[in-house]
Structures are given as structure tokens and as C-alpha cells.
Structure 1
Amino acid sequence: MEVPWKLPHIILPKPASSSMRPQGAVRRGAIKSTLKEELQEKSDGSSEKGDEVGEEKLSPEEESASEPVNLEVIGTNTGPTMFRLPSQDSLSGENTVSEEMLAEEARKKSKEEEAAAKERAAQRQQLAIEELVQSERNYLRMLQICSVDIRSSLQQLQPPLANLDRLFLYIEDVMEVSSRLLSLLDRRPSGEPQFLQTLCDSFLSLSSDIEAAYKEYLAYYNQISIVENSYKQKEALWNEIVRIIKASAPEVNASSLSFFLVMPVQRIARYPLLLQTIQKHTDTSHPAFKLLEKTALTSIALNCRINEYKRFREVADKYKKTETLTIKDKINRLNPHSIAKKTARFSQQLKHETGIKPKLVDEEFDAFEGFFNILEHGILVLLENVETYLLHLQRFLDCRTEEFDLDMDGEKSPICYKEITTALRQWILPTFVRFFFCLNLTEAVQVHKINVK
């Protein structure tokens, strides 16, 4: 008795590890039909053999076992053939839905992170703007303490300090331009969205005034340091100055005048840093971004021009500087390079004078030289006249004639006379002295020591 043929046991792969390749997917239909035909032929052959033996009947379990199973065959050109059940299609569909959900969650998360980044940038931008405005207020307040409180206390010292007015030269211009900048910024609260445009417009409108005020102060700062160092050489006087500084500004714990006088030098260099920090945290789509970029570049160019002007002034001061050297000092300065240069100049001059070598004549240069000599003579005469005028004016104001009662009540002439004298003392004389100091010539040493009362 022959045992009926059964479908061989097939080990199916796990659904999670099954993967359909393009080659097997293309051949799936053809292989499936071929497999069904082979299963049908084998089942027909087994039924014929069973009829010859005795027409034995199969049990329901065997019949179910002999029925063909619908399998999807996944074949490859190089690897072994794999089978997949129909239930695996539903699993792949679920995987696709889960992937879409994960992608949607990732997009939402990226949008949230982008919004959080924009919010952080806006907060940092606001902090940078507030730092610029608040630091400008503190800066102006420190300059006012220095030029008003400390200066007035130093003017009361006896004997009067020499060159005290030179110590605070140009600081009023710096304070004035800083005060104007703050007044423009105060027109709109710093928390408003339009404040950034107001800040840029204010700085650009005052850029030329800022440059004019700071370049003179920075070019003159070396002279300020010289005056302060002259005070430090007298120990008792310097201790009194330090006491006045600490009493006038106890909250900053300053111990020298340079603590305040160096602030304009630091402030002008800080403008580009603050503006670039604001630009860094400002979105490119902001309406005022282009204007902010222009403002930052303007501040950088402004610093470059100020440094160039300061360098030119230092070179000019170097050539105007007169040194009183002894013969020993001049001998010590001799070196092979200076000796060779002076020898070449002397030989060239000797050849021109003896006629060995013709002297080149530049008519254009000679014309400029004559014009320069005339201009130099006119400037020297002007300086001499201004110096004389200041000395006579100072002697006249020392009499204090406006304080006397001229017994001319009810007449306008004494009133006008007192007003003119007051203007001469408080405005005209200090202005002339201030501009005369700018010339920085040796002839103005006596005028520098005038004490405006």
C-alpha cells in the first residue's frame, strides 16, 4: 500500500527580515503559475495510483494537506529562492504608514526647532540693542562726572594746576555728540520693532560729527597722558587729585584721571563690535537688515579714518619736535648709515657749488617753495597777534570792571557793558584759548598757562 504524496515541508522566512528585490518581483507571476501546474500533476498522479490499489480515501486532514498553498516566490538571479506569505503584504503596508508618520513628526520637530532658534536670535538681538543704548548712557554719565565734578574740584586747588584746561581739551565735543545720539535714540522705545531702523538712521546721520569729534580727541590723547604724568611726579599733589577723584565718583573706584579720559578711545572702537553683534542676531529678511549692514560698515570705515588721521598727526609732531641735544648725545647717535647719508649729501652739495655737476632747477618746485614761505610767514604773524590779543584780554578781565557800581541806574549802557564782559570771560576767551592750543607750537607755551577764571 503506497502512502499518498504530500506537499514537502517548507521553512518560510520571518516577515521582518524578508525583502523583495526588483528581479524576483518581475518573475513572481511566471514562477507561481509553474509551481501550481507541478503541484496539480503530482496530485493527479497520486490519485490514479490510489485507484489501482484499492481506491483508498484520504482523511480531511490529508486532503487539506494535499491542497496547494498560495505562495509568492521571491527569486533572485544569484541568491536562493525565497517565499512570502500573503499576510506579509499587510505588514509592508503598515510599515509604509509608520514611515510616513515618522516623517511628519520629523518635519514638525524641525519647524519647532527653527521657530525656537528664531526666538533665541530675536532675544539676543534685543539684548545687544539694549547693551548699546545702556552703555552709551553710562559712558556719557562718566564723562560728565569727569569734566564737570572732578574738573570743578581741581580748579579750586591752590596753587592752581598748570595746564588743567589742556587735560580736558576736546572732551566737550565728544560729550556733545554722544548726548545728541542718545536724544535721537530716546525718541522711540528700544522694545519696538522699528527701533532698529531708528538706531541705524541716528548713527548714520551723526557719523561725520562723531568722526570730527573723536579724531581730534584721539590725536591729542598723547598730550593728555603727558600732562597727567607731570602731575604724578609731585606726590602730594597727586594724592590730593586721587582723593578728589574718589570723592567725586565713589561707585567706580577710580584712582587716576586716565580711567575717565581713556573712555572715548575705548568707546569709538566698541561701536563696530556692538553693531556687528546686532547684525549677527538679525534675520536677513528683516526690513532694516540692509541698513544695519551699512551702519556696521560705516562704523568700521570711521575707525579706519580716525586711526589714519592719528597716525598722520603723530608723524607731523615727530618732525615738529625740537630736541636740545648735547654734543655727546649727537656723537652717540652716529652710526655707519647716518654717516654715509650725510657724506653723500655733503658731496652732492659740494659738486653743485663748484660746478662739477650741474644743479637741476625745478621751476614748479621753486614756485611752491616761495608760496610756502609766504604762507609760513603769515601764519607766524597771525599766531603772534592772537597771542598778544589773548594776553591783553586776560589782563583786562582780571580787573573785573563789571563788578563795580558805576552809579548809572536806569541806563542801558552799563547793562550792555556787563553782558559783553561776561561773554568775554565765559565764552570768547576760553574759545580763543582752546583753538590756540590746537596749533601745538612752542610759541604758545605762555598762552597754555592762562587760567580762565
Structure 2
Amino acid sequence: MLSILANNQSPEKIEKDALMRRFIIQEIYTTEKSYLKNLLIVKTKFMDPMVEAAKLGSPLVRSQDLPILFAHLADATNISSTIIKRFEHWKETSGMLWRQSPVRVGKIFIDLNEEMGCYVKYALDYHSLEKALKRAVRNVEYQKFNQDSINNLETNRMGLADYLIMPIQRATRYGLLLKDLKKHTHVNHPDYNDLDIAIKMINALATAMNHAQKRN
């Protein structure tokens, strides 16, 4: 009780923050799983068929546009896979209490600081990616391929352009989620300082991405 008073926190506030932390951590985890699933859809439902079509002599896009469209897909997939593996490691070691344990979510992002640079590269190349998509639309076979995707439940009734904007959106979402998590994390929590550093890192990443897109 003395420590609670010293920290100017009521038992209700402590319980509410703990509940919110569990909720936000779960949201980060579940939305990351959805994001990874979408990245894998890009590979299996778009990139692989387009590469195969090119090999068979019936290209859906210009051969030189394929690396432009999918240049950073592997990097983004690796980052997302790593984030999920870290969460699942805690889940395996902590059982049903994994969301209640002092998970250092901020450290996940700090450890991926160097890898996250791929999102700046993605932003730098995004204008070229959009141009490649515009060129692709001139191809009747690509139009049919993309329309089939929009009509397909396996691709969530979305086309390639809908998927290729997702890495830009996800990088921005990281900052919002971490900021919200920090709001409900006490300064004495093991995750607090990590979150502070991670938020600054993601903010710097977002700024660099904005500048990169403006340059184009």
C-alpha cells in the first residue's frame, strides 16, 4: 500500500493499466500475425504466379518490374516472423500467463532496429512500385489476374496494390501501438525504458519514411 501511495497510483489504476497492457500486447501479437499472413499471401498468390508466368513466356508484368514490386518482401516477412517468434517464445515459457508477465515488448523493436531500415528503403522505392503497377494495368492478362484476386476469398477480395501499401501502414501502426502501450506502463516496469527507446526509434523511422516518399 505504501508503494502504491508513493507512486500516486490507486489499486484501481494499477489494475486498469495491467488490463490495458495485456489487451495492447495481445493486439500487437494478433495484428502482427494478420500482417505476416498478408505478406505471405503476396508471395504465394501474387509474386510466385507472376514469376512463373514470366518463366513460361506469358509475363503479367515487365520482367524488370518484378524486382521493383517485390524487392523488400523477404525483409519485411523476416521482421514480422521474428516479432511473432519472440511473442510465441514468451507464450511457451509462460503458459497462459504470458500476457501478464513483464514482457519487454520494446526490446523486440530495439533488437530489430537495423533490420527495420528496410521500411525506409520500401518508402524510397514506393513511387517506382506505383509506376510499375500502372504499367502492369496496361496488360490485359494482368488485369484479369488482378480481378481474379479481387474476386477470390483466399486473397480477401483485394488486389496487389492493396497488399503492397501494407508495409507502409504497418510501420506507422507500430508507433501508435507502442505509444499506447507505454501510456499504460508504469515507470518502474521493466518494459518502460525499452518502450521509450523503441518509440523514439520508430518515430525516427516514420520521419525517414515520410521524407523518402516526399523525395519521390
RMSD: 2.3
Matched ranges for 1:21-100 at <5 A: none
Q: Contact between 2:42 and 2:163, CA under 8 Å: does it hold in 1?
A: yes
1:207 counterpart SS class: coil
Matched ranges for 1:257-336 at <5 A: 257-312=160-215, 314=216
Q: Measured at CA, do residues 178 and 237 of structure 1 come closer, stay the same or move farther in structure 2, by a change above 3 Å?
A: closer
Q: Report the counterpart of residue 101 of structure 2 in structure 1.
A: 193
TM-score by length of 1: 0.40
Q: Measured at CA, do residues 117 and 268 of structure 1 come closer, stay the same or move farther in structure 2, by a change above 3 Å?
A: same
Higher relative contact order (CA 8 A, sep 6+): 2
Q: Measured at CA, do residues 260 and 134 of structure 1 come closer, stay the same or move farther in structure 2, by a change above 3 Å?
A: same
Q: Measured at CA, do residues 248 and 143 of structure 1 come closer, stay the same or move farther in structure 2, by a change above 3 Å?
A: farther
Q: Which amino acid aligns with 2:33?
A: R
**Larger proportion of helix:** 2
Tell me by how many angstroms 1:120 deviates. Answer: 1.9
The yes-or-no answer on 1:141 pairing with 2:37 is yes
The yes-or-no answer on 1:239 pairing with 2:139 is no
Tell me by how many angstroms 1:224 deviates. Answer: 1.2
| Alignment partners' CA distance in 2, 1:226 and 1:136 | 28
Tell me by how many angstroms 1:309 deviates. Answer: 4.3
* Residue of 4, 21, 33 corresponding to 1:125: 21
Q: Measured at CA, do residues 182 and 166 of structure 1 come closer, stay the same or move farther in structure 2, by a change above 3 Å?
A: same
The yes-or-no answer on 1:253 pairing with 2:157 is yes
| Alignment partners' CA distance in 1, 2:192 and 2:145 | 51
Q: Report the counterpart of residue 205 of structure 1 in structure 2.
A: 111
Q: Which amino acid aligns with 1:214?
A: Y
Q: Contact between 2:25 and 2:99, CA under 8 Å: does it hold in 1?
A: no
Q: Contact between 1:219 and 1:309, CA under 8 Å: does it hold in 2?
A: yes
Q: Report the counterpart of residue 362 of structure 1 in structure 2.
A: none
Tell me by how many angstroms 1:160 deviates. Answer: 1.4
- Which has more radius of gyration? 1
Q: Measured at CA, do residues 247 and 153 of structure 1 come closer, stay the same or move farther in structure 2, by a change above 3 Å?
A: farther
Deviates more, 1:259-268 or 1:280-289: 280-289
Q: Report the counterpart of residue 80 of structure 2 in structure 1.
A: 178
Which string of whole-angstrom CA distances, capped at 9 and with x for unpartnered residues, describes residues 37-74 of structure 1?
xxxxxxxxxxxxxxxxxxxxxxxxxxxxxxxxxxxxxx
Matched ranges for 1:100-119 at <5 A: 114-119=10-15
Q: Contact between 2:107 and 2:195, CA under 8 Å: does it hold in 1?
A: no
> Number of residue pairs matched?
196
TM-score by length of 2: 0.80
Q: Measured at CA, do residues 291 and 155 of structure 1 come closer, stay the same or move farther in structure 2, by a change above 3 Å?
A: closer
Q: Which amino acid aligns with 1:114?
A: S
Tell me by how many angstroms 1:182 deviates. Answer: 2.1
Question: Alignment identity in percent?
Answer: 22
Which segments of 5 or more consecutive residues in structure 2 lack a partner in the other structure?
1-8, 92-97
* Residue of 150, 158, 165 corresponding to 2:46: 150
2:90 counterpart SS class: coil
| Alignment partners' CA distance in 2, 1:238 and 1:140 | 26
Q: Which amino acid aligns with 1:265?
A: I
Q: Measured at CA, do residues 207 and 233 of structure 1 come closer, stay the same or move farther in structure 2, by a change above 3 Å?
A: same
| Alignment partners' CA distance in 2, 1:311 and 1:231 | 24
| Alignment partners' CA distance in 1, 2:125 and 2:204 | 21
Q: Measured at CA, do residues 247 and 155 of structure 1 come closer, stay the same or move farther in structure 2, by a change above 3 Å?
A: farther
Q: Contact between 2:123 and 2:212, CA under 8 Å: does it hold in 1?
A: no
| Alignment partners' CA distance in 2, 1:170 and 1:281 | 34
